[in-house]
Structure 1
Amino acid sequence: MKKSVLSLSLVASLAGTHAIASTTEMTVTGTITPYACTPTLSNNGVIDYGPIHAQTLDNFQLPDRTLTLSISCGAEAPISLIATDNRSGTASTTGDIHFGMGTYQSMPIGRYSMAFQNAQVDGQQRGALESLDGGATWKASNNVLMRDSTTAQDFRLAFGNTTPQPTTLLSATMRIQGSINKDLPFTDDIDLDGSSTIEIKYL
């Protein structure tokens, strides 16, 4: 969470005509924090494909899945989102929109992407916005793909018309699209092991 530290020192000296001059110092310190916002994902953030037979997949593409992202803020606040791939470097396709599923016998298992189109922001539908410069400028898009903050450090996702709309309650559908590495040896059971962290960034 972004923190702003406020530090102020006050020094005062008072002396009477015949008094000995003296000084005393008072220090005022504190921390100003933004309004707390809490994110939650439906199904505890778990996408479980269950047992998968590789031969039944169309071009090794996994079925699309969705989760609902909900954000509650203690007071109206302008926010954005980033995502960090906890399996960074294991995606079977290069590019910061692809998140990894771990490895099997040193081979990438697959990859997945996370996309947003719009959201309900305090009861009003708002489109998805993306920034590639840390929130300095914003671009509206019909489909914003999250980017791994490990490599795309200045990427931000938000919701609004042209700029992020401050919110107290936000609800958005996240679509997950995944695929399996076709070069895997499909002779053993292989566990998908994708993991990523979504973080709120205050603007």
Structure 2
Amino acid sequence: MKVLSALVAVAVVAGISFNANAAIDLRVKGTIVPASCVPFLQGGGVVDYGNIPAEDLNQTSFTVLEKKEIVFNINCRSATKVGLKALDGKGFSQIPGILAATIGPDYTDNYNYGLGATVDGESIGGYAVNLKPGSFNAGGAAVKAITSLDNGTTWIETTTGAVGQTDNIASWSSTTGLPTPISFITLSGAMEVQAVINKASELTINNDVPLDGLTTFELSYL
């Protein structure tokens, strides 16, 4: 009996020593994300100029096409400040200076989006994208487009609503006071697209030449 009692005592002591050195971690994880916003462009985001007769193109200068409008909305789950960044998917086909020479000097190549190229590699033209002045409202109140040229550090008013690339961000502010991005749940308005076609003498038009512009818009949470 005494031997048995001694063995039991050793087992108990060994068990206590093992449990004192054991450890387990509890990790608490998760990510706080901005309020989700969803942009919407009418008609799947397609601006269609239809058929453009080759004989209507100017042989020695650029041909400016009419402006086209497309409904643009942003819907957020809660009041959120957002900006709009743009990326030219056809930047390889840009024609330097085409917009500045036709639409106006403010339309530098930072606002110039390519229209693709012919099968012979000739650049077809370019286009500008504007947030149409006077068309936007947020929650029923009129707002105006503003822009940042330095990735959101500072903001300025824009009379054209032109959407630029690289470090440019477009946003919206109240119609009074300083140009500062405002929070909103719903925003609605219109985008304007104006295309300019290259000189006909620079294009080989033996077959149909489709305009092939592609701009990707990305919401930036401010």
C-alpha separation between the residues in 1 aligned to 2:123 and 2:20? 78
Task: Specify the structure having the higher radius of gyration (Cα).
Answer: 2
- Correspondence for 1:186: 205
Residue of structure 2 aligned with 1:129, choices 146, 171, 189: 146
**How do residues 33-112 of structure 1 correspond to structure 2 at under 5 angstroms?**
33-57=33-57, 59-94=62-97, 95-104=109-118, 105-112=120-127
C-alpha separation between the residues in 2 aligned to 1:52 and 1:81? 31
- Correspondence for 2:215: 196
Amino acid at match of 2:194: Q
User: Where does structure 1 lack aligned partners over 5 or more consecutive residues?
Assistant: 1-18
Amino acid at match of 1:139: I
What TM-score, normalized to structure 2? Answer: 0.76
1:93 touches 1:111 (CA, 8 Å); kept in 2? no
C-alpha separation between the residues in 2 aligned to 1:69 and 1:44? 11
Tell me the SS of whatever aligns to 2:64.
coil
Deviation of the 1:20 alpha carbon: 4.8
1:54 touches 1:60 (CA, 8 Å); kept in 2? no
Is residue 25 from structure 1 mapped to residue 25 from structure 2 by the alignment? Answer: yes
C-alpha separation between the residues in 2 aligned to 1:175 and 1:54? 24
User: Where does structure 2 lack aligned partners over 5 or more consecutive residues?
Assistant: 1-18, 98-108
Which digits, 9 at most, give the CA deviation of each residue in 1:54-78, with x for residues without a partner? 3335751111101111010011100
The count of corresponding residues between Structure 1 and Structure 2 is 181
- Correspondence for 1:113: 128
C-alpha separation between the residues in 1 aligned to 2:43 and 2:57? 24
Amino acid at match of 2:157: A
Tell me the SS of whatever aligns to 1:168.
strand
In proportion to residue count, which structure has more strand? 1
C-alpha separation between the residues in 1 aligned to 2:23 and 2:162? 60
Which digits, 9 at most, give the CA deviation of each residue in 1:151-199, with x for residues without a partner? x1x2100000321110100012111011111121233321111111111
Amino acid at match of 1:107: E
- Correspondence for 2:168: 155
Deviation of the 1:93 alpha carbon: 3.0
Which digits, 9 at most, give the CA deviation of each residue in 1:88-110, with x for residues without a partner? 12122351211011111111011
Which digits, 9 at most, give the CA deviation of each residue in 1:111-166, with x for residues without a partner? 00101124111111111110011111110122121123xxx1x2100000321110
Identical-residue share of aligned pairs (%): 30
In proportion to residue count, which structure has more helix? 2
Tell me the SS of whatever aligns to 1:68.
strand
1:96 touches 1:147 (CA, 8 Å); kept in 2? yes
C-alpha separation between the residues in 1 aligned to 2:123 and 2:27? 56
C-alpha separation between the residues in 2 aligned to 1:93 and 1:163? 32
Which digits, 9 at most, give the CA deviation of each residue in 1:31-63, with x for residues without a partner? 111111010101211111111113335751111
Amino acid at match of 1:106: G
